[in-house]
Amino acid sequence: MKVSIDLDKCCGHARCNAVDSELFQLDDIGYALHADIDIPPGAEDKARQAVGECPERAISLD
């Protein structure tokens, strides 16, 4: 499973990071560090949760 983050839409709420700080890492000002994230097996539910948690709808499943 892969996840994409639209970095222009990301406004640094860090709700994805609150779901899983390893999967959804932040830069030095608290915005998404990576635009493309590979989701390891077993972490699919966390990825889906993060998609729903983003107030900006910046995260999508590929």
Question: How many chain residues are in contact with other proteins, going by CB under 8 A?
Answer: 18
Give the one residue of 4, 15, 20, 43 binding other proteins; rule: CB under 8 A.
15
φ, ψ for residue 28, nearest 5 deg: -70, -10
> Hey, which bits of the chain come out as E strands?
2-5, 36-38, 59-61
Count of positions (residues) in the chain: 62
CB of 10 to other proteins, least distance (A): 10
C-beta separation of 13 from 51 below 8 A: no
Give the one residue of 29, 36, 41, 42 binding other proteins; rule: CB under 8 A.
29
Binding site residues, other proteins, CB under 8 A: 9, 11-15, 17-18, 26, 28-31, 52-56
